[in-house]
Homo-oligomer: A and B are copies of this chain.
Amino acid sequence: MRILITGAAGMVGRKLVARLLQDRQLAGRTIAAIDLHDIVAPETPQADGISVRAFTGDLAAAGASEALIADRPDMIFHLAGVVSGEAETNFDLGYRVNLDGSRTLFDAIRLANYKPRVVFTSSIAVFGAPFPEVIPDEFHPTPMTSYGTQKLMAEALLSDYTRRGFFDGVGIRLPTICVRPGKPNKAASGFFSSIIREPLHGQEAVLPVPRSVVHTHASPRSAVGFLIRAAGIDGALVGPRRNLTMPGVGVTVGEQIEALERVAGSAVTKLIREVPDAATWAIVQNWPTRFEARRARELGFTAEQSFDEIIRAHIEDELGG
């Protein structure tokens, strides 16, 4: 099996590559090759018997997608995207990468006339306030960011291209992935991770929103698990509604901090400083809160059961336990 991963230099992309090289198989088939693509050069980890190639460039540029599809990858993970904060400040870039990049890739697959599985990472940002207390699978997406709009449009394409038989797509709406390792990115959701990550490193972290904010999270480990499940699932089980809201842990920011205190103690949580930020709040207040995610759970997508578990996963995976 040949695998293509766009956005491979991103956090989730790198973890997915590591997992695939460790598993050496996907969806019951042996992995022969992995092609990685990103706007910056992705690392190319070595693995005996698996060819790993890197491609660098703008996915929406003429010919870029065609080059990636030339070797007809059996499995395509389309993770590439400009994050929410950046898509909001840079209108043109967001539409170019998140909408045109996806469409160009999907069209290259369509025109290559074979029928690979395409796994697309959408986002809960497709939803916009007001919400019921728990958002059901059949709730309408009314995004309140350009990022969410672009993800919704790519979801619609994914469904239509699947219905027409151009490829076999599965869209997974990721909750906020937390705890993100490494440096903050430009996502407006960055603070959800930094209030856990920085204090665990003995550093101060800023909380820009009220503790009452409710949000749904899953660990990077769960995000990779979602991708692996989406790659292996029988398309007939998914049916015509190809975009699935993933499960996660719905908690208030206050509950996140309580979990951190349980796991790491109050000396750690004391490093969180509350500094309200109007710009972040303006975005976050329209974000969805809790999800039912019934279809995804029934289809075998699993996440953590508590925020304590999410913190422990971070400590195990990033801080050597």
The answer to whether B128 and A146 touch across the interface, beta carbons within 8 angstroms, is no
The answer to whether A159 and B140 touch across the interface, beta carbons within 8 angstroms, is no
The answer to whether B143 and A159 touch across the interface, beta carbons within 8 angstroms, is yes
Query: In the complex, which residues 114-143 of chain A have their Cβ closer than 8 Å to any Cβ of chain B?
Result: 128, 137-143
Taken together as a complex, chains A and B put the C-alpha atoms of A128 and B144 apart, in Å, by 23
Residues in B neighbouring A128, C-beta threshold 8 A = 240-241
Q: Which of B91, B144, B241 touches A142 (beta carbons < 8 Å)?
A: B241
Residues in B neighbouring A156, C-beta threshold 8 A = 143, 149, 152-153, 156
The answer to whether A164 and B91 touch across the interface, beta carbons within 8 angstroms, is yes
Q: Which of B139, B144, B160, B241 touches A163 (beta carbons < 8 Å)?
A: B144
The answer to whether B164 and A157 touch across the interface, beta carbons within 8 angstroms, is no
Taken together as a complex, chains A and B put the C-alpha atoms of A149 and B162 apart, in Å, by 12
The answer to whether A240 and B142 touch across the interface, beta carbons within 8 angstroms, is yes
Residues in B neighbouring A143, C-beta threshold 8 A = 156, 159-160
Taken together as a complex, chains A and B put the C-alpha atoms of A241 and B241 apart, in Å, by 22
Taken together as a complex, chains A and B put the C-alpha atoms of A314 and B138 apart, in Å, by 37
**From residue A284, how far is it (CB to closest CB) to chain B in Å?**
15
Q: Which of B137, B138, B140, B240 touches A144 (beta carbons < 8 Å)?
A: B240
Residues in B neighbouring A138, C-beta threshold 8 A = 139-140
**From residue A98, how far is it (CB to closest CB) to chain B in Å?**
12
Query: In the complex, which residues 176-220 of chain A have their Cβ closer than 8 Å to any Cβ of chain B?
Result: none
Taken together as a complex, chains A and B put the C-alpha atoms of A137 and B132 apart, in Å, by 13
Centre residue among A142, A153, A156 by max chain B CB count within 10 A: A156
Taken together as a complex, chains A and B put the C-alpha atoms of A125 and B163 apart, in Å, by 15
Residues in B neighbouring A157, C-beta threshold 8 A = 149, 153
Residues in B neighbouring A159, C-beta threshold 8 A = 142-143, 149
Residues in B neighbouring A144, C-beta threshold 8 A = 163, 240
Taken together as a complex, chains A and B put the C-alpha atoms of A156 and B153 apart, in Å, by 7
In this complex, what residue of B is CB-closest to A127?
B140
**From residue A78, how far is it (CB to closest CB) to chain B in Å?**
17
Taken together as a complex, chains A and B put the C-alpha atoms of A253 and B143 apart, in Å, by 36
Q: Which of B137, B140, B160 touches A146 (beta carbons < 8 Å)?
A: B160
Taken together as a complex, chains A and B put the C-alpha atoms of A139 and B136 apart, in Å, by 10
Known: A138-B139, A139-B140, A140-B140. 10 other contacts (CB 8 A): A138-B140, A140-B141, A142-B159, A142-B241, A143-B160, A144-B240, A149-B157, A149-B159, A149-B160, A156-B156
Would you give 5 A-B contacts (Cβ < 8 Å), ordered by A?
A137-B140, A140-B141, A142-B240, A143-B160, A153-B157
